[in-house]
Structure 1
Amino acid sequence: MINEIQDLLQLCKDTGITIWVENNKLKYRAEKDKIDNDLLKKLKEEKENIIRHLKENDNKTVLDGFRLTPIQNAYLIGHSSDYELGNINAHYYTEYSCNNIDEKKLQRSINEVIKNNEALRTVIHPSGVQQVISDVPEFELKTVKLDSEATLNEVRKAWYHHRYQLGNWPMFHFQVSKRDNDADILHFSFDCIILDAWSAQKLLFDIFKIYKEETVSWPAFTFREYLQQETSYLKEDKSWAKAEEYWEEKLKIIPECPKLPFKKQLSLIEKPHFNRISYKFTLNETEKLYAKLKKYQFTPSALVCTVFMKVLAYFSSNKNLTVNLTLFNRLPLNREISKVLGDFTNIGLASYFHNENIHFLEEVKMIQQQFWKLIQYRNYDGTRLLKKLSANKLGKAVMPVVFTSMLQGKLEFDEASDFREVYAISQTPQVVLDHQARDDNGGLALSWDYVSDAFDYGELKNMFEIYIEQIKGLIESDCWDTPVFIKENREHS
């Protein structure tokens, strides 16, 4: 009987049908036309045996399935080639250098974090259900010996755009590269459908703390419980109606996305491949910038986003434009919510209206006011905005330029950490350019992740250099009252 049930469940898995137990009832989810009458009849006949088997499976106990968030669902849809700039998963890859990594110690640290965080034991199914596995095998940390920079590039190439198979665990990967004459490298890859950027950062910090034999406190609250409580919370959220009204009016007037000088039509890019261009300001430069921001009462995110959009407008054929903003929204459903790992991502929209007659300070103020509105209405599902904008543009990437900021406006140092980030890159479906800003151990770090087939590298590099020069100009300027004028650097390297 056990073998028959296992064969039946395997058939369902192979057919793309997700089976789970919810409130002692057998549930299934399948794509249209994936389940025939004979299979459905068999599932009904064996219902009690299947429920018993799933509950008694000691090796891989699967907890009740639960819904995806709107962003998780958007990432899942992005796997399809039916969408412009689709056919990829949302993915992040990073490398940390550290002298003489103790692989056994690091493996224990990683498994300790896996054991105490459901997000790292989560499986996403193609049918749109996620499940947590309570007992998973110990994660084995692979170690390779590097003999050259070329070998490092081979390891990087294998993981920096890795596509994890839906329905399988794990949806992340750690690996160590050992080097004789240089620091070792920790490679970390994960599918963003299980973790947002804040969660990934906390995950790594927890691993590094355990590695240093420091204590980490684990939350009793989980992402699964968060989603269960979120539904009832949002039903009672009185700001939803106001948010709906705000966005309905805003959608009537917002400009389109930037019309940048793409070298290839976005719809002709079959599988986007992302590269990164980046710059990090010194501690002294960052301190000077943050001091001026405090004087003018601006947030770092508002300033950086304003400069970013001004540069986009300079190169775009439409001078009024809108960008997609990444939001990290954790509702206050539990006092331990800041410790919970998961994908809490939401999105919003911010617009720039070109006007040569207003001062730069006024431009930043206008962007910051939009940011405050986004915070005020952060519970509103931002994917609804994109659906409305794409109503008559089926499959089109309507807002493919993204601004992502993790800036907090304070200089943080972790001199005690043995690990230092040395490389990172991300990719997201239906995105052509993703601006990322963060505080990197005392320095403001800015990067653009971009679809390489969409841009002429020389032109993009020129755009980025002009962008950095504008911020350097603000750092050195004694007064921001006068407009900031962009001077194009025509020397392409």
Structure 2
Amino acid sequence: SLSEPATEAERAVASVWEELLDAGPVGRESNFFELGGDSLMASRVIGRVRALGYEDVRLQLLFDTENLSEFCKTLRKREAPPKQEALIEVDPSKEYESFPLTEIQHAYLVSRGDSSSQATVGTTYCQIFAVDEIDLDRLDAAWGKVQKRHGMMRASVEEDGTQSIAPSSKIGHIERAECANSSEAKQQLEEIKRTVFALAKPPLHRVVSISWHEESGKQTRLVFCFDYTVLDALSVMTVLAELAELYENPGADLPGIGLTFRDFVVGHRRDGREVEEAEGYWRSRLPELPPAPQLPLAADPSTVGEGRFERLWRTVAEPEWSAVKEKARLHGITPSAVLLACYARVLSAWSGGGGVTLNLTIFDRPEVHPDIDKVVGDFTTLLPVACRPSADASVEAQMRGVQNELAGGLEHRAVSAVWVQRELARSAGTSGVVLPVVFTSALGLSRFDLDGGFMDYLGGLSQTPQVWLDHQAMERGGGVMLSWDYVSELFPDGMIADMFDAYCSAVSSLAASDWSEPFPDLLPPSQRAARAEANSEGADLGGGTLHGRFFARAQ
């Protein structure tokens, strides 16, 4: 049984854990991660505890301590009253006035070129579902309600680099395509999932129903395409969850939303002291950051243009994934850190075995309003994470190292990877892509399940300029769906598929393996043979640093 919190600090922190984790009674022996906490929730906990007046509260402390009692031992309350987080000022009268782009939105815009033109590769996110029986009129009505509910579903980006919201009468409708056969349907699907939106022409999303007949009966696919510039992946999941709810229950009364994305962008400002501290932290770390993964390339990135994205995906089924999560819980490791460690291990193996720095996608929503989690928009920030896999270190040690790196980055996320990459590029004297390999995890963040309700997931695609490889993880039917989107022309034939197989095998093996042992050798025999041959010939790897060679390739 649990001991009741004994001190003022323990009672205060227990209350925060219970609220944010939606947990039952928290005792002195309770462990944050065993209760279901993750890295972003840990950041919120630290923010809440600081707001209660406790000083010197660091994210790393929460990662390093065993339980509530240990975490609270060193907490000291300030004598002065705590600084209150300024709430966002809500102003409905300015709903349709233009407002600035966020840092990541601006980066997307620059990477695409002119907002009024049609880029060859956009910032597009596509999901494809199979449906058995579907009332498209009812679905279209539900889709209209979702668009009217969220202003950013009607957003556009102007040529002057601002964004604005169209009136609620300006909504899109479900497109309907009847195909003669499955081949024609497949061709339509390929074209639709590579949609590139003209940012100045709302809506920046589309839903297409594709139907055809086979001997077994009518087949229908629903294709959802969104532009990342106005909706991040977590917002897309929110939109799809609300669509499913309104379709299955047309009379559903969704809770109101007390602010808009515009209110957030206009009203939220980072604390100047936090920004200064974060800049100092990252400047001190720049010289020691490992390079981006030095993966073998089949083409010079400058000659590929925007390239063609392809997707590999696989689902780790519920029994295996539950076993992995349970072992992670007992070791105090978040599921996302488990996946990140495996991803980094594979990338390192194909990059010569050294450390790698990746861009981690963060769906960061500061607690500036009670309804902030209901708002949709592009809240994305990118966080550089240095991973230093070792052939000798245990699986647990490598996961913990990744988690600690993540904690340090989250503690100093007042500046993002966009700023860090600019500093890296400046120090190397380049304007090329710096960190083009991305890790995205939506585990524990969304109430939308890929196999939930009336739709069954069949795949999708995301494509982003200046990204070469993007890992994504989402819940699916109790398991986890893992996908890699990559620029196919950049890499040797079959290489990314080999890497993905090794990655999925590494994740699945964790259910039964001993985490006190090192990762197994993840390279397939053909790769090991090629490496041995190259090394025996004393291949000339060229001079200079890994950073320098990477920048030379990126320019």
TM-score (norm 2): 0.73
The aligned runs of 1:27-106 (5 Å cut-off) are 63-80=96-113, 88-106=121-139
Q: What secondary structure is seen at the aligned counterpart in 2 of 1:390?
A: helix
Identity %: 25
What residue identity is the alignment partner of 1:426?
S
Distance 1:414 1:137, change over 3 A: closer
What residue identity is the alignment partner of 1:333?
V
Q: What secondary structure is seen at the aligned counterpart in 1 of 2:239?
A: helix
Question: Aligned residue for 2:182?
Answer: 149
Distance 1:112 1:166, change over 3 A: same
Moved more, 93-102 or 396-405: 93-102
Question: Aligned residue for 1:384?
Answer: 419
Distance 1:349 1:142, change over 3 A: same
Contact conserved, 2:297 with 2:491, CA < 8 A, in 1?
A: yes
Contact conserved, 1:96 with 1:185, CA < 8 A, in 2?
A: yes
Contact conserved, 2:234 with 2:445, CA < 8 A, in 1?
A: no
1:138-192 CA distance string (max 9 Å, x none): 4232211133221222222222121111311111101111244254211111110
What residue identity is the alignment partner of 1:105?
R
Question: Aligned residue for 2:483?
Answer: 447
Contact conserved, 2:123 with 2:464, CA < 8 A, in 1?
A: yes
Distance 1:147 1:169, change over 3 A: same
User: Which of 460, 482, 485 in structure 2 is aligned with 1:424?
Assistant: 460
1:247-276 CA distance string (max 9 Å, x none): 111112101101101111111111221000
Question: Aligned residue for 1:461?
Answer: 497
Say whether 1:330 aligns with 2:368: no
**CA separation in 1, counterparts of 2:226 and 2:357?**
29
Q: What secondary structure is seen at the aligned counterpart in 2 of 1:252?
A: helix
Contact conserved, 2:470 with 2:486, CA < 8 A, in 1?
A: yes
The aligned runs of 1:362-381 (5 Å cut-off) are 362-381=397-416
- Stretches of 4+ aligned residues off by more than 3 angstroms: 135-138, 354-357, 392-395, 409-416
Contact conserved, 1:411 with 1:443, CA < 8 A, in 2?
A: no
What residue identity is the alignment partner of 2:174?
L
Cα displacement (A) at 1:356: 3.3
Contact conserved, 1:94 with 1:424, CA < 8 A, in 2?
A: yes
**CA separation in 2, counterparts of 1:415 and 1:331?**
30
**CA separation in 2, counterparts of 1:363 and 1:371?**
12
Question: Aligned residue for 1:13?
Answer: none
User: Which of 163, 170, 180 in structure 2 is aligned with 1:137?
Assistant: 170
**CA separation in 2, counterparts of 1:274 and 1:416?**
27
What residue identity is the alignment partner of 1:334?
H
Question: Aligned residue for 2:319?
Answer: 284
Cα displacement (A) at 1:88: 2.6
Gaps of 5+ in 2: 1-93, 528-555
User: Which of 364, 383, 388 in structure 2 is aligned with 1:348?
Assistant: 383
User: Which of 242, 245, 250 in structure 1 is aligned with 2:280?
Assistant: 245
Contact conserved, 1:290 with 1:409, CA < 8 A, in 2?
A: no
Cα displacement (A) at 1:126: 2.9
**CA separation in 2, counterparts of 1:432 and 1:371?**
22
Question: Aligned residue for 1:201?
Answer: 237
1:267-325 CA distance string (max 9 Å, x none): 11112210001110111111111111111110111111111111111111361211111
Moved more, 122-131 or 427-436: 122-131
Distance 1:283 1:75, change over 3 A: same
Contact conserved, 1:87 with 1:429, CA < 8 A, in 2?
A: no
What residue identity is the alignment partner of 1:328?
F
Question: Aligned residue for 1:18?
Answer: none
**CA separation in 2, counterparts of 1:375 and 1:271?**
31
**CA separation in 2, counterparts of 1:269 and 1:304?**
30
Contact conserved, 1:397 with 1:430, CA < 8 A, in 2?
A: yes
Q: What secondary structure is seen at the aligned counterpart in 1 of 2:288?
A: coil
What residue identity is the alignment partner of 1:196?
D
Q: What secondary structure is seen at the aligned counterpart in 2 of 1:346?
A: strand
Question: Aligned residue for 1:29?
Answer: none
Cα displacement (A) at 1:384: 0.6
Cα displacement (A) at 1:76: 0.3
**CA separation in 1, counterparts of 2:189 and 2:465?**
20
The aligned runs of 1:160-171 (5 Å cut-off) are 160-171=193-204
Q: What secondary structure is seen at the aligned counterpart in 2 of 1:333?
A: coil
**CA separation in 2, counterparts of 1:353 and 1:415?**
35
Cα displacement (A) at 1:381: 3.0
Question: Aligned residue for 2:298?
Answer: 263
Distance 1:409 1:366, change over 3 A: farther
Cα displacement (A) at 1:401: 0.6
Gaps of 5+ in 1: 1-60
Question: Aligned residue for 2:333?
Answer: 298
**CA separation in 2, counterparts of 1:412 and 1:185?**
19
**CA separation in 2, counterparts of 1:215 and 1:422?**
30
**CA separation in 2, counterparts of 1:412 and 1:292?**
25
User: Which of 243, 247, 255 in structure 2 is aligned with 1:217?
Assistant: 255
**CA separation in 1, counterparts of 2:451 and 2:497?**
32
Distance 1:390 1:80, change over 3 A: farther
Distance 1:107 1:470, change over 3 A: same
- Would you say how many aligned residue pairs link Structure 1 and Structure 2? 424
Contact conserved, 1:300 with 1:409, CA < 8 A, in 2?
A: no
Cα displacement (A) at 1:98: 1.4
Q: What secondary structure is seen at the aligned counterpart in 2 of 1:309?
A: helix
Question: Aligned residue for 2:29?
Answer: none
Cα RMSD (Å): 2.3
Question: Aligned residue for 2:3?
Answer: none
1:323-357 CA distance string (max 9 Å, x none): 11111101111100110000000011111224334
Question: Aligned residue for 1:434?
Answer: 470
**CA separation in 1, counterparts of 2:449 and 2:224?**
21
Q: What secondary structure is seen at the aligned counterpart in 1 of 2:400?
A: helix
**CA separation in 1, counterparts of 2:420 and 2:96?**
33
Say whether 1:173 aligns with 2:173: no
Question: Aligned residue for 2:396?
Answer: 361
Q: What secondary structure is seen at the aligned counterpart in 2 of 1:248?
A: helix
Cα displacement (A) at 1:124: 0.7
What residue identity is the alignment partner of 2:148?
K
Question: Aligned residue for 1:6?
Answer: none
User: Which of 100, 117, 125 in structure 1 is aligned with 2:158?
Assistant: 125
**CA separation in 1, counterparts of 2:163 and 2:381?**
18
TM-score (norm 1): 0.81
Distance 1:367 1:390, change over 3 A: same
**CA separation in 2, counterparts of 1:415 and 1:317?**
38
Cα displacement (A) at 1:430: 0.6
